[in-house]
A and B are shown apart, each in its own frame.
Chain A
Amino acid sequence: MTFVVASPSLSVRDARIVFGDRVVARDLTLDFPGGRTTCLLGRSGVGKTSLLRWLAGLLPGVTRAQPLAYMAQRDLLLPWLDILDNVLLGYRLRGDAATLEAARPRARALLTDVGLGDRMCDRPEALSAGMRQRAALARTLCEDRPVILMDEPFAHLDAVTRLDLQDLSARLLLARTVVLVTHDPLEALRLGHQVRVLSGSPFSVGSAIEPAGSVPRDPADPVLLGLQARLIAELRSAA
């Protein structure tokens, strides 16, 4: 049983997000409730990733509000490090030997949690795409930051692997403040305590949809499928 300190909420006030020459969002005010997963749903190019990068402080001239962990669409594992060292990358980069040593058991436990307990000494190239993304998930969690940003983390995986990873993530991300960007309505509905649709240019954010039940929700649930149909209609009409 892990003891999790209450995760803070994340607020955006009157933000202006610019990506290159394009104004992606203007006067954006948005709240992400603490300890919950918020899924941002939108079509490709609407500015989901820009919003996430803005939150992460990765856009030029932007500093992020608080420490966070970031998980991208690609696993971004370093090919010259084994899986365990990849999971510990943040500690290695910050260069504090004591905290690195202290984080080692945690990294091992997380790798066991994601089902890679016996692959810690392998290099990423020896792993399948699903395993690599699980390792990336372990690395994200190992950072142990209260806020986690995820940019279409399962988009590259096949359907079954994606469902498995969604289940795994929902379990491991419990009680953290998560902002997950996706273009897959089913993914948003399975994982999000709250789902918000982004549409238009500059984008506006739709009101919060809060499906019933706990995450990860059953993909065969008729209520969920009904909501999915509604979301798809909303996404299509927004174009």
Chain B
Amino acid sequence: MRPLITALGLLLAWEALARATGVPVYILPPPSRVVVVLIERFDLLIEQAAWTAAEMVLGLVLGLFLGAMLAIVFAASAGWRRWALPLVIISQAIPVIAIAPLLVLWLGYGMASKVAMAALVIFFPVVSALYDGLRRTDPGWLDLAQTMDASPRAVLLQIRLPAALPAFASGARIAAAVAPIGAVIGEWVGASAGLGFLMTQSLARGQTPLAFAALVLLCLLGLALYHATDWAARRLVPWQSLQGE
């Protein structure tokens, strides 16, 4: 309740400031104007939002899947770990934003380049969270499994992987928070649809209220994605729910 009142207070202050100073609408539109545009252009906005949402979700799913696969490969094979892990870490020195134009060049202006971008920004947090979780299995469990003559494969699938799920869940939450960044940056660099595309287009035409309306939807999308992921992450590790809540 409190954050809602704070937000409302800030919005009122913004409204008052915009009206009192008489700042042109194309510089800083008052919130009331943004709401009006939100309603008037709702069809356009929702269409673009659906496009961006699809990019985010696909990017998130792809990034989580690839990241999880690589983390499992690293945990299972010392060879892969030695040859590829340093490379994955070094690759993080490249700012992902700098690759965006290349992705657009290779994958085109359509959805693929944005999905790739979103997947790319979440890839590392996912690999690192899950791999870390896979390495930190309780040694007591590993000893127990050894006295039970478990194969390395059974230990990985039945002990190390489930034990690492809480770590994967935190990785997925971080991923859900940053996936929208990837999608929107992709749209800024070059796109034909999406909320990020709509923002650049409307700003260029002086339709600042429309850009703000797109921003509001982006914010809502990000929140929805995060909470949906958080919900799924909790279902993934039900045995932790008693402590966490």
Q: Taking beta carbons and an 8 Å cutoff, which residues of A are in contact with B?
A: 53, 56-58, 64, 67-70, 72, 74, 76, 78-80, 89-90, 92-95, 123, 125, 143
* Distance between B218 CB and nearest chain A CB, rounded to angstroms: 36
Task: Report Cα–Cα, A69/B145, bound state, in Å.
Answer: 10
Task: Report Cα–Cα, A68/B162, bound state, in Å.
Answer: 26
Task: Report Cα–Cα, A80/B237, bound state, in Å.
Answer: 8
Point out the residue from B146, B149, B238, B242 that lies within 8 Å of A58, measured CB to CB: B146
Task: Report Cα–Cα, A195/B53, bound state, in Å.
Answer: 69
Which stretch, B73-81, B135-143, B187-195, touches the partner chain A?
B135-143
Contacts of A57 in B (CB 8 A): 146-147
Task: Report Cα–Cα, A14/B183, bound state, in Å.
Answer: 66
Contacts of A80 in B (CB 8 A): 162, 165, 237-239
Decide if B158 is an interface residue (CB 8 Å cutoff). yes
Range of interface residues on chain B? 20 to 34
Q: Which parts of B146-199 form the interface with A (CB within 8 Å)?
A: 146-151, 154-155, 158-159, 162-163, 165
Task: Report Cα–Cα, A89/B147, bound state, in Å.
Answer: 11
15 A-B contacts (beta carbon < 8 Å) = A56-B147, A68-B147, A69-B147, A72-B143, A72-B144, A76-B138, A78-B162, A80-B165, A80-B239, A93-B149, A93-B150, A93-B154, A93-B155, A93-B158, A125-B239
Task: Report Cα–Cα, A90/B150, bound state, in Å.
Answer: 8
Q: B100-126 vs A: 1/0 string, CB under 8 Å?
A: 000000000000000000000000000
Contacts of B150 in A (CB 8 A): 90, 93-94
Contacts of A69 in B (CB 8 A): 147
A136 closest partner in B (C-beta): B144
Contacts of B146 in A (CB 8 A): 57-58
Task: Report Cα–Cα, A90/B144, bound state, in Å.
Answer: 9
Q: Taking beta carbons and an 8 Å cutoff, which residues of B are in contact with A?
A: 138, 140-141, 143-151, 154-155, 158-159, 162-163, 165, 237-240, 242
Contacts of A76 in B (CB 8 A): 138, 140-141, 144
Task: Report Cα–Cα, A48/B147, bound state, in Å.
Answer: 18
Other than A76-B138, A80-B237, A80-B239, give 13 A-B pairs with Cβ distance below 8 A. A56-B143, A56-B147, A58-B147, A69-B147, A72-B143, A76-B140, A76-B144, A78-B159, A80-B238, A90-B150, A92-B158, A93-B159, A143-B148
* Distance between B28 CB and nearest chain A CB, rounded to angstroms: 52
Contacts of A143 in B (CB 8 A): 148
Point out the residue from B140, B162, B238, B242 that lies within 8 Å of A74, measured CB to CB: B140
Point out the residue from A64, A72, A94, A123 that lies within 8 Å of B148, measured CB to CB: A94
Q: Are A90 and B162 in contact (CB under 8 A)?
A: no
Contacts of B144 in A (CB 8 A): 70, 72, 76, 89
Contacts of B140 in A (CB 8 A): 72, 74, 76
Task: Report Cα–Cα, A125/B241, bound state, in Å.
Answer: 10
Task: Report Cα–Cα, A90/B154, bound state, in Å.
Answer: 10
* Distance between A181 CB and nearest chain B CB, rounded to angstroms: 14
Contacts of B143 in A (CB 8 A): 53, 56, 58, 70, 72
Task: Report Cα–Cα, A118/B239, bound state, in Å.
Answer: 20
A79 closest partner in B (C-beta): B239
Q: Are B141 and A95 in contact (CB under 8 A)?
A: no
Task: Report Cα–Cα, A107/B126, bound state, in Å.
Answer: 38
Q: Are B148 and A125 in contact (CB under 8 A)?
A: no
Contacts of B138 in A (CB 8 A): 76
Among all A-B residue pairs, the 10 with the closest Cβ atoms = A93-B150, A90-B148, A70-B147, A79-B239, A93-B154, A76-B140, A80-B162, A80-B239, A76-B144, A93-B148
* Distance between B144 CB and nearest chain A CB, rounded to angstroms: 5
Task: Report Cα–Cα, A46/B218, bound state, in Å.
Answer: 63
Q: Are A94 and B159 in contact (CB under 8 A)?
A: no
A75 closest partner in B (C-beta): B140
Given contacts A70-B147, A93-B154, contact A125 B242 (CB under 8 A): yes
Q: Are A93 and B145 in contact (CB under 8 A)?
A: yes
Point out the residue from B154, B162, B238, B239 that lies within 8 Å of A95, measured CB to CB: B154
Contacts of A72 in B (CB 8 A): 140, 143-144
B165 closest partner in A (C-beta): A80
Given contacts A72-B140, A74-B140, contact A94 B242 (CB under 8 A): no
* Distance between B137 CB and nearest chain A CB, rounded to angstroms: 11
Task: Report Cα–Cα, A78/B141, bound state, in Å.
Answer: 8
Contacts of B242 in A (CB 8 A): 125
A72 closest partner in B (C-beta): B140
